Structure 1
Amino acid sequence: MRQLELRHIRAFVCVTNHLHFSRAADELEIAAPSLTKLIQEAERLLGVRLFHRTKRSVVLSAAGSAYLAEALAALEHLARGEERAGLAERGELGRIEVGYVASAVYAGVLQRAVGAFRRLHPGVDISIREVPMDTIAAMLRDGLLDAAYVRPPMPLEDGIEATTVHRDRFVLALPEDSALAAAPELKPSQLRDQYFVLPEQEAGTFEVARRGRFSPRLGLRPGTLAAVLACVSLGGNVAVVPHALAGCIALPGVVYREIAGKPIASEIALAYRKFERAPAVRAFLAFAKNG
């Protein structure tokens, strides 16, 4: 069964605006007979008379007045849909799932990127969640995450890339009653006999051991940095952690000390799918990588 089309609705609304077929036809840039045909088709499909027409006047019928409100609403709805489609195409509308490791929050990287992007793109819904670093690559691959803040180095699957967005350095977290805590900085060799609590990113710990020419005594692997510091606060363990923690986590029983020598780089990177298609995600990645 044939139904009313958008061209019929637009023709009807245009005639109601002018109440004159010739002027309405000029606005629509069609011939007056073609406009008359469109209105006649609309009336036939609706089964009502939309206008009362004479040689001198055109007025809306009762049915036409009733239909006008719905026709205007339909056109407004379509215009809004067109606008939203354009916003989505430009990356200004959509949903993004962002994962992060805790140090991205401690360093302020997550807050700066997500907060600023939200202000610039209020139509984009960004969901954030802390995730274990060893699950991030698979979650990006499977579409459970669209972007993730990680601590390199970490293995990346095919199709996943990472760009450094923040640079820091590693420091030592020590029990405050440790004899080592008396010094403002410690040489790696001084840590030979210590037990190390391992955070998710182990690279700093093994670099300290390499510089100190010893094999590290490895203790617990509690997971998050907060859990690592909790282990240190109980005594008997040290940990190599990002310097950002020293500025924002003051835990009872824990002190931070510099590592002597060339700073050991501690980075935060943004991981993402190499061939991302979603405009909103691409817009966030471009913003976050340059922010």
Structure 2
Amino acid sequence: MRYFLAVAEQLNFGRAAEQLGIAQPNLSQQIKALEEIVGAQLFNRTQRHVKLTAAGELFSQEARAALDHAGAALAKAQRAGRGELGRIAVGYVGSASYTGALIDILSAFRESYPDVEIDLHELEMQEQLPRIAAGTLDIGFIRPPVEMPLGVGASLILREELVLALPERHPRAEGETVALADLRGESFLTPHHGAGVSFTQYTRQACEAAGFSPTFGRQAADFVTILSLVGIGFGVALVPASCQVLRLPGVRYLQLAGAEVRASLSLASRRSEPSPLVHAFLQQGALYRAEHRRKTD
């Protein structure tokens, strides 16, 4: 078709052959072979003139459209192979948005890959991980430590300090800092996590470092609900420092004196992921991690 269109545009076999960079006899053979496939003469040839036949006129319109379509398909396939097109499904725990990491990474990814569709879902960590393993979710913003399904790994993007959320009418709420040892009789509220997982583990580690084992109280799906329970007076909670953007009535945040435990935020994905889109997203996460470390070091 490309050879045919060159002749149709030039109406001269010699000039068309020169444009294509092939020998004229070879071009003539290609056109003859095409006419045999079509079953009709496409050109009227004389010693002086080359003209399109009626069949050639109609064929030239369709051939041009077919080549344009093929070129567009090739370009799309090449862009998809480079990770510039397609769709990526991303899950996140709500606290990922408080840190700024979710917004910064997604914004940078969208700027680099504007034609990629991002399917975004807020999900609890225990919902994200099986979906990633099953292939229905590509990336998860999670809060380790947590047991990972087979074939799923995680890469750290930031660590942040813990702060104590307590009711503003609490006797310890007047200061700016608090020693965790002074709260040994309190009920600690956590997300829906099992023993040794995420903020249940962080709370246990921080309290044990302060010399006591915590008494765990109610659990909730997210930190907004946990902080609401704190404000009502159901207990206190160790939360990531980024939660301080949530200014709920009746809740105060205090810095922890001498606390060493930090909360992690990581990107989870399949270890043997072939998608260039997922690799590009993880690379954006690595760039965020490097920039965050530079700012905090």
Q: TM-score range by the shorter chain?
A: over 0.9
Deviation of the 1:43 alpha carbon: 2.3
Indicate yes or no: 2:257 matched with 1:260.
yes
Corresponding residue of 1:177 = 169
Number of residue pairs aligned between Structure 1 and Structure 2:
282
Return 5+ residue gaps in structure 1 as ranges.
1-8
Secondary structure in structure 1 of the residue aligned to 2:239: strand
1:82 aligns with 2:74: yes
Matched, 1:99 2:91: yes
Measure the CA separation in 1 of the matches of 2:234 and 2:274. 50
Q: Which amino acid aligns with 1:202?
A: T
Q: Hey, what's the Cα distance between the residues in 1 that align with 2:268 and 2:146? A: 10
- Residues in 2 aligned to 1:88 and 1:236: alpha-carbon distance in whole angstroms: 51
Q: Is the 8 A contact 2:85 2:116 kept in 1?
A: yes
The ranges of structure 1 where at least 4 consecutive aligned residues each deviate by more than 4 angstroms after the TM superposition are none
Give the C-alpha shift of residue 262 in structure 1.
Answer: 3.5
Deviations 1:148-175 (A, max 9, x none): 1111111123322211112211101111
1:4 alignment partner in structure 2: none
The residue aligned with 1:290 is 287
Distance in 2 (alpha carbons) for counterparts of 1:158 and 1:197: 30
User: Share of identical aligned residues, percent?
Assistant: 38
Using the alignment, how far apart are the partners of 2:158 and 2:206 within structure 1? 21
TM-score calculated relative to the size of structure 2: 0.90
Question: How far apart, CA to CA, are the structure 2 residues paired with 1:235 and 1:37?
Answer: 89
In structure 2, which of residues 11, 27, 39 is the aligned counterpart of residue 35 of structure 1? 27
Contact 1:233 1:252 (8 Å CA) reproduced: yes
Partner of 1:232: 230
1:146 aligns with 2:170: no
Query: Is the contact made by 2:177 and 2:257 (CA closer than 8 Å) also made in structure 1?
Result: yes
* In structure 2, distance between residues paired with 1:62 and 1:269: 65
Cα distance in 2 for partners of 1:140, 1:38 equals 51
Question: Match for residue 203 of structure 1?
Answer: 201
Query: Letter of the aligned partner of 2:271 in structure 1?
Result: K
Counterpart CA distance in 1 for 2:234 and 2:118 is: 41
Shift of residue 64 of structure 1? 1.6
CA distance in 1, matches of 2:223, 2:259: 23
SS of match in other structure, 2:258:
coil
Q: Is the 8 A contact 2:206 2:259 kept in 1?
A: no
Consecutive unaligned residues of structure 2, counting only runs of 5 or more, are: 194-198, 289-297
Taking the aligned partners of 1:280 and 1:183, their CA distance within structure 2 comes to: 48
Counterpart AA for 2:6: C
Do the aligned residues in 2 keep the contact of 1:171 with 1:258 (CA within 8 Å)? yes
Secondary structure (helix, strand or coil) at the match of 2:274 reads coil
Match of 2:196 in 1: none
Deviation, 1:33, is 2.8
